[in-house]
Chain A
């Protein structure tokens, strides 16, 4: 194995073994390692704090099964499932957001803008209001709603002008229709079901178990594998469809695969945690700020996990002695970030 620092491509190192070569961009590596370290630290902090502060030492003993019964219960039943679910959900949303921004070539491209979140909401509202059913059924119908919306957008955009612009306009249209449907569903129900629905709509991680964490984890793993295969083509698509075609990217196939993957990731995350606002939008932006002109899906996933974990810690700390739904925190923090982003871009004069 040899390590080459290329004279041509500054700030990158190439690892070569036989005919294989990997290019490591220093800034991307630093961004990934940095966000990974921050994520690990935050996850440990999150496990150690809460309504009962355990401290890292008691967390460690509880983790290896030598802690007090109470500590083990708090850690294994209350905190770790919630933490694991948050990590997986955040990573899914970070990846989905990065895919949508790549596909639409627009900084506002996200499952919220394109209507996937509204689709999931429609599914959840049907479950809660029309069938009055359990959280499990709500989860399934929310996933179905999100996926169906993704497929609908794909069906409506295919064959036409392949630019991201069309995808955004179709998404906004679909989103508006679904918002109307959701409003109608909410007006046709009792105050109790409406409250349950609104609570779901806010997005929350409380009371999540390992089963749900594993489900999202599985979707995350599958999505990550597909993205790894697509990422070079997606990166070339950033030069425009025409250039990507010239370079030998299978443009249509790549875009369809990316849209389906983004829909599945969104469906999995939203089904389990509800539509945690703005995570999918903010994560790729923050990741892009860390990695510079290169894009890294891995970094976006890590930042998504970081946002959800941090937001959930704030939510658990709550206001006064009341915990908040996680979605309230991501909404407030993400919204503030979005406004800042628009102001910063207005100064720069471009939206890219």
Chain B
């Protein structure tokens, strides 16, 4: 197996005395679009928080490029690893360009506030997410889908080879969900390693190149969607009787819940 850029190694994760995962080992494969999925409270967001160094394992470790992530300077980590959290806060009245520019923080300093490089990277990030026209609009005037693209642009401006996204499609309508996921797929094709937590099993199966299914804080199945999205795995992970057919659009597995299951 190739060396993983980001991994949890025998980690115990939790909040105070409330342990979510014990002895959890997960390797994020380089260059893949990894989606972590599972039922509510399965520990998927906790795992993402740990990978993003927001949560320190009480035992075990999270390794970035083979070294403990908490022993590395946080700004150096921020140049390797970008994070889009679940509910980021846009300050009142901030403009799109201003918010995207915040992504340059780990590359700046008190006397290096806005280099030509910053300007170029921010413009590129906005072009990549198709928000160039919105540069001087207020973030609070935008639709949910546009706003999410602005946040993704901010993370892109960080110029990190690794991107973590915590439920990037939550609160969006279906059109904007697909828009955001298509954008993620594009970022993956351009060579970035993506890790996302997603709720929708079918979207996960369609967009992920590597799936991690969790339940009760442990990894239940892991691998390419075509290999692991089976009726048996879905039953095991979600307690949901279902049939699997080929998605007529993408050819990826499509989960159809059984009609009798809900009677």
Contacts and interface: CB of A to CB of B under 8 A. Distances in A.
Most-contacted residue by chain A among B53, B99, B106, B114 (CB, 10 A):
B114
A208 interface: no
Interface string A218-248: 0000000000110010001011111101111
A14 interface: yes
Among B75, B89, B90, B92, residue most surrounded by chain A Cβ atoms (within 10 Å)? B89
A7 B135 CA distance: 10
Contact of A239 (B54, B90, B106): B90
A242 B83 contact: yes
B101 A238 contact: no
21 contacts: A6-B119, A8-B119, A9-B114, A14-B114, A23-B113, A228-B110, A229-B110, A236-B105, A239-B88, A239-B102, A240-B85, A242-B83, A242-B88, A245-B74, A245-B83, A246-B83, A246-B84, A246-B155, A247-B106, A249-B105, A293-B98
Interface string B88-125: 11111111011101110110101111111001001100
Contacts of B235: none
Nearest to A246: B83
Contact of B112 (A7, A19, A243, A249): A19
B136 interface: yes
Interface string B200-215: 0000000000000000
B82 interface: yes
A12 B135 CA distance: 14
Contacts of A65: none
Contacts, number: 112
A22 B112 CA distance: 6
Nearest to B104: A247
A133 interface: no
Nearest to A242: B85
B93 A293 contact: yes
Choose among A9, A236, A248 the residue with the greatest number of B CB atoms under 10 Å from its CB: A248
Contacts of B108: 232
B141 to A, nearest CB: 13
Interface string A63-91: 00000000000000000000000000000
Contact of A23 (B91, B94, B114): B114
Contacts of B95: 10, 293
Interface of A: 6-10, 12, 14, 16, 19-23, 105, 228-229, 232, 236, 238-243, 245-250, 292-295, 350, 352
Contacts of B111: 20-22
B24 interface: no
B86 A242 contact: yes
A352 B89 CA distance: 10
A239 B91 contact: yes
A239 B83 CA distance: 12
A27 to B, nearest CB: 11
Given A238-B89, A249-B105, 13 more contacts: A8-B101, A8-B119, A9-B114, A16-B116, A23-B113, A239-B89, A240-B89, A243-B85, A245-B52, A245-B74, A246-B84, A247-B158, A248-B76
Interface in B188-207: none
A330 B126 CA distance: 46
Nearest to A231: B110
Interface string B140-182: 0000000000000001001000001010000000000000000
A8 B97 contact: yes
Given A242-B54, A247-B158, A10 B136 contact: yes
Contacts of A9: 97-98, 101, 114
